[in-house]
Structure 1
Amino acid sequence: MTEHTYSEAEFDAITDAAAHWCMRLHATDCTDAERRAFEQWRAADPLHAFEYEAMLEIWDVAGELPRAVSAPPLSSIKAATPWRTFGIAAAVCAVALPLAAYTGWNLGWLPDAYQHFEASDNVRQVTLGDGTQVELNLNSELTFTNYKNERRVRLKKGEAFFSVTHDMARPFIVKAGEGRIRVTGTKFNVWLYEDQVRVNLIEGSVLVSSNNALAGDGLRLGPAMQARYRHGDYMPQISQTYANDNSLAWRTGKLVLDDLPLSDALPLINRYLSKPVMVADKSTAAIRLGGIYNIKELNNLVATLPRVLPVYLTRNENGNPVLNSIPQQTPKG
């Protein structure tokens, strides 16, 4: 089969359509008929889906712009992935124009650079536009936007270890789940799974907030401290870590479970799986699991759990593996 080569006009038309659908699907008056038409359009060509995903990334950036202003010329905005440059510029034009005034970079309303990074089957090391070094765990994704007065990262999924370039004048802000982490220069790790977030500080200090809508910068962490939060938490939970803490073992390809109940162990395992493992009830969730595992081989762990734990496997209606505790027989007296 011969691969189709798109002309510039065809590619422009697809980009314009992706920007149109991005706006319509976010509109309050979008109809069911329009949503069905969009699904047909997206399924018609892999490039349609690809361009639409690029538009969604820029929508996230545009959503942070002040609503009372309109956009400046976009000639200075550059993307880290050249093959997306046109799509990104078009999306910013289409989405940001109604939202931002003619001011731009100098007033800190628009970024001068945008980067997108993913790691799928291997741990990946990347360098952000400000020089910050980031290690991405498997199945992780983040974006970086560079503003005049601050640097912003959105951790969309997974886990990342940051070695932040020091810049007192421009704070480095990581948004994860409902909260954010604010620093100027330090080393720390952020883990995100569903609505759970965990922040481990290695060096320096960070401010952690569990809710972006709350005023203030949150609670301060010092070295060897950890913050946890999830959706709906008013404040993060702060705790001390210890010398033998293994939460960063992923950087060497390992997952270390230190005799954890399944309720705590499964979120650490599930983020590596295509089908998350569930528990049938509270008694199953309380069963404890330990061991050291290769993060690339965790799919094989699920089938072995009945050999090491008092559980058996079933599947729910969505095809997820479900762990069920084996009832303990009462000795006959």
Structure 2
Amino acid sequence: MTEHTLSEAEYDAITDAAAHWCMRLHAIDCTAEERQAFEQWREAHPLHAFEFEAMLQIWEVAGDLPHPESARPVPPARPSTRWRTFGITAAVCALALPLAAYTGWNLGWVPNAYQHFEASDTVRHVTLSDGSQVELNLGSELTFSNYKDERRVTLKKGEAFFSVSHDMTHPFIVKAAEGRIRVTGTQFNVWLYEDQVRVNLIEGSVLVTSNDHLNGDGLRLGPAMQARFRHGDYMPQISQTYANDNSLAWRSGKLVLDDLPLSEALPLINRYLSKPLMVADSSTAAIRIGGIYNVKELNSLVASLPRVLPVYLTRNENGNPVLNSIPQQAPKS
């Protein structure tokens, strides 16, 4: 589990590294290994690529250096010329640091805070840099970036309950799969499994869209409402929840299955399994299951299912457990 907000010193280190790579990529003795190392560095964090591009733009405006992709071999410079170029480059980089950070922030390109959180085998409570509170379910991961015009969370996997600090001028955006949830201050839960997303609103209001590339802010949810969608859906499905809704039972370490068909229950169960449980066919998928389970003990549930359901277990070629329905015998005449 990790939690990290970039400090001013770390931002400076990123810019220093960008300066180093700018100099090396334009050097005639830059090796293939160095270029590969640069690509790895650039992909390691969003700020790496931004700082590098910002410095290139400054140099191009100054007319000192071409872009690396268009750079052409030049005759070796005399030592004095090389050191003079090195000095100019270093000076430009020093000037680029405040300019790149200031410009990037004001244009809404660069966050002034970045955090990464994971929860593995226990529920985790975290505080975002804007003061919002997040509760992470087992096996969950998200990132938070604070931009000038919005606060942005990306839920990479799992489930999270949000208590968002109110700020009408600084909306809070949660991205999950292809969808987006937009709020200014409220309490809500987001569940993500593969390409399926479910949003439960507890307090306040949120706008939900199933496709982040569509125009508009999406559909509005009020308290005790739920939105479901998956990849490819044009609009989320909206429904009402009730006082006995059990979708937040995970916060107490429980998974409640309220007489659900296996087709609906397995995505809820599989989030906690090391090997996803499958069904052999549509008749097996229609078998219903209920009960209250400890989320930390769901791996043992798989082996017990043949004792409580009319199914037997097999394994597919990938080693996944597969539920197969037991054919019912025809009644004797």
> TM-score, with normalisation over the residues of structure 1?
0.73
Q: Distance in 1 between matches of 2:242 and 2:55?
A: 49
Q: Distance in 2 between matches of 1:262 and 1:55?
A: 44
1:172-191 matches, cutoff 5 A:
172-191=172-191
Unaligned stretches of 5+ in structure 2?
A: 1-12, 22-32, 57-92
User: Is the Cα contact below 8 Å between 1:277 and 1:321 reproduced in 2?
Assistant: yes
Q: Which residue of 2 aligns with 1:262?
A: 262
User: Is the Cα contact below 8 Å between 2:209 and 2:217 reproduced in 1?
Assistant: yes
- CA drift of 1:55 comes to 6.8
Q: Which residue of 2 aligns with 1:224?
A: 224
Q: Which residue of 1 aligns with 2:87?
A: none
Q: Distance in 1 between matches of 2:148 and 2:45?
A: 18
User: Is the Cα contact below 8 Å between 1:70 and 1:102 reproduced in 2?
Assistant: no
1:318-329 matches, cutoff 5 A:
318-329=318-329
- CA drift of 1:285 comes to 0.1
- CA drift of 1:107 comes to 2.4
Name the amino acid aligned to 1:114. Answer: Y
User: Is the Cα contact below 8 Å between 2:115 and 2:144 reproduced in 1?
Assistant: yes
1:72-221 matches, cutoff 5 A:
103-221=103-221
Q: Distance in 1 between matches of 2:44 and 2:288?
A: 39
Q: Rg bigger for which structure? A: 2
Q: Which residue of 2 aligns with 1:58?
A: 45
Q: Deviations over 1:137-171 (max 9, x none)?
A: 00000000000110000000000000000000100
Structure 1 residues 62, 145: closer, same or farther in 2, change over 3 A?
Answer: farther
User: Is the Cα contact below 8 Å between 2:316 and 2:322 reproduced in 1?
Assistant: yes
- CA drift of 1:70 comes to 4.8
Q: Distance in 2 between matches of 1:300 and 1:144?
A: 34
1:300-315 matches, cutoff 5 A:
300-315=300-315
Structure 1 residues 306, 62: closer, same or farther in 2, change over 3 A?
Answer: farther
User: Is the Cα contact below 8 Å between 1:71 and 1:101 reproduced in 2?
Assistant: no
User: Is the Cα contact below 8 Å between 1:72 and 1:102 reproduced in 2?
Assistant: no
Q: Distance in 2 between matches of 1:209 and 1:57?
A: 29
Pairing 1:249–2:232 present? no
User: Is the Cα contact below 8 Å between 2:42 and 2:48 reproduced in 1?
Assistant: no
- CA drift of 1:311 comes to 0.1
Q: Distance in 2 between matches of 1:109 and 1:164?
A: 22
Unaligned stretches of 5+ in structure 1?
A: 1-11, 21-33, 42-50, 74-92
- CA drift of 1:259 comes to 0.3
Name the amino acid aligned to 1:58. Answer: H
Name the amino acid aligned to 2:163. Answer: S
Q: Which residue of 1 aligns with 2:73?
A: none
Structure 1 residues 174, 62: closer, same or farther in 2, change over 3 A?
Answer: farther
- CA drift of 1:303 comes to 0.1
Q: Deviations over 1:216-243 (max 9, x none)?
A: 1100000000000000000000000011
- CA drift of 1:56 comes to 5.5
User: Is the Cα contact below 8 Å between 2:101 and 2:110 reproduced in 1?
Assistant: no
Q: Distance in 2 between matches of 1:57 and 1:238?
A: 38
> TM-score, with normalisation over the residues of structure 2?
0.73
User: Is the Cα contact below 8 Å between 1:278 and 1:323 reproduced in 2?
Assistant: yes
- CA drift of 1:312 comes to 0.1
Q: Distance in 2 between matches of 1:272 and 1:257?
A: 14
User: Is the Cα contact below 8 Å between 1:71 and 1:103 reproduced in 2?
Assistant: no
Between the aligned residues of both structures, percent identity stands at 81
Q: Which residue of 2 aligns with 1:28?
A: none
Q: Which residue of 2 aligns with 1:71?
A: 54
Q: Distance in 2 between matches of 1:62 and 1:268?
A: 37
- CA drift of 1:62 comes to 8.1
Name the amino acid aligned to 1:170. Answer: H
Bigger mean CA deviation after superposition, 103-112 or 193-202 = 103-112
Name the amino acid aligned to 1:325. Answer: S
Q: Which residue of 1 aligns with 2:292?
A: 292
Q: Distance in 2 between matches of 1:199 and 1:206?
A: 9
Describe the SS at the equivalent of 1:238.
strand
Q: Deviations over 1:28-77 (max 9, x none)?
A: xxxxxx9xxx9xx9xxxxxxxxx96x975635x789x8xxx95379xxxx
Q: Deviations over 1:238-272 (max 9, x none)?
A: 00001100000000000000000000000000010
Name the amino acid aligned to 2:126. Answer: V
Name the amino acid aligned to 1:71. Answer: A
Q: Deviations over 1:153-197 (max 9, x none)?
A: 000000000000000010000000000000000000000000000
Describe the SS at the equivalent of 2:223.
coil
Structure 1 residues 251, 102: closer, same or farther in 2, change over 3 A?
Answer: closer
